[in-house]
Amino acid sequence: MPPLTVAFAGSGTGLWEIERMDAVAGEPLAAAARLDVTEGGAPAGPARWVLRGVTSNERYVTRGEHEGLAARQEPLGRPASRRAALILIRKSEAWWDLAQDERREIFEERSHHVGVGREHLPAIARRLHHSRDLGGPFDFLTCFEFAPAHSAAFDELVARLRATAEWDYVEREVDIRLRR
Amino acid sequence: MPPLTVAFAGSGTGLWEIERMDAVAGEPLAAAARLDVTEGGAPAGPARWVLRGVTSNERYVTRGEHEGLAARQEPLGRPASRRAALILIRKSEAWWDLAQDERREIFEERSHHVGVGREHLPAIARRLHHSRDLGGPFDFLTCFEFAPAHSAAFDELVARLRATAEWDYVEREVDIRLRR
């Protein structure tokens, strides 16, 4: 799949109602009523903020891990997914100065980022958007979608990731919870 | 170092005179007299084409390889570097569909991309710009700068890389040679 550019706009319109926005680390983001997600173009209408990201090639997972995820994961947009989250992350320069093997070791061998996510498949669908090279205030914009019955499981997933060695490198995080 | 966005414009102005432009694989690029390189902004004036890339974090090298390169490499802009090349590459979807460990294996264990480049340090300075996630026609824009006496060594470096397994995934390549 070629990279897909996606714009996330905090505005008065859009499919998703913003239930809650928490600044977990660093500066908050301005409050907005709804989240508008536009694939491949610019959002229509005025917005409090617009964040752009791009789906890109995988950066850390091995072939075996990729196959394990692909066999279980489901796409965004399932009719039953009436809850969602957009988690915005910026990592420190110390993270980006690490070499590839050092980042991989923290990401998976120490923090089990892929393994933790896989435990929640297919209930919690996920799509990662890279933003750092596009010059935005965050490095990663990750969408999660799930049925209301899996909200507690999502909270547990997020809590486990925040307790990992990888999260020591997170210097800004905003957690936006959504419903439709 | 945070990512630096760089614009390369084929125009009538700019520091570098274009000596030669070869379409090594795939479509050529429109002819231009000079190359204008603008860091962090948009190029001034009209241009036949503008390509944008961003210096980003390293994607494949290990800590040991990074240290080996950092100990020997020199930056762009040396007064003696009166010759340069801009090599534009697009890789196939088959490359981008590979997992990280598969790309790494082809890149270094089979093709010795880092090892071949290191043999030519510090004579041939190099800076890689990523372009795929920015939506341009190429995935990578790589600048090389060297003294006229090292032109033959640069030809040898390029020929060795083009003979590797990694280059089986290159579907478009334009080689622009420059002097000032």
Residues from chain A contacting residue B106 (CB–CB below 8 Å): none
pLDDT value of position A41:
79
Identity at B114, one-letter amino acid code: V
Q: What is the DSSP-derived secondary structure letter of residue B107?
A: I
> Is the reported ipTM for this assembly greater than 0.90?
yes
- By the CB < 8 Å criterion, does B135 face chain A? yes
**Alpha-carbon distance A177 to nearest alpha carbon in chain B (angstroms):** 27
* pLDDT tens digits along B148-158: 999 999 999 99
Q: Which pLDDT score, from 0 to 100, does residue A143 have?
A: 98
Interchain contact, A134 vs B130, CB within 8 Å: no
Structural domain tally of chain B? 1
Q: Is the CB of B155 inside 8 Å of chain A's CB atoms?
A: no
Query: ω into residue B122 within 30 of 0, thus cis?
Result: yes
Question: Is the Cβ–Cβ distance between B129 and B7 less than 8 Å?
Answer: no
Q: Does B55 touch chain A (CB under 8 A)?
A: no
| pLDDT at position A44 over 80 | no
pLDDT over 90 at B67, yes or no: yes
pLDDT band at residue B90 under the 50/70/90 scheme? very high
* Domain enclosing residue B91, as ranges: 5-179
Q: State pLDDT tens for residues A109-162.
A: 999 999 999 999 999 999 999 999 999 999 999 999 999 999 999 999 999 999
Predicted pLDDT at A174? 98
Residue A32: pLDDT band with limits 50, 70, 90: very high
Q: How many CB atoms lie within 10 A of CB B51?
A: 21
Is-contact A76 A143, C-beta < 8 A?
A: yes
CATH of the domain at B14: 3.30.70.3420
Query: A-B interface: how many C-beta pairs under 8 angstroms?
Result: 59
- Say what the pLDDT of residue B139 is: 98
Q: Quote the mean pLDDT of chain B.
A: 96
Contact between chains at B99 and A62 (C-beta distance less than 8 A)? yes
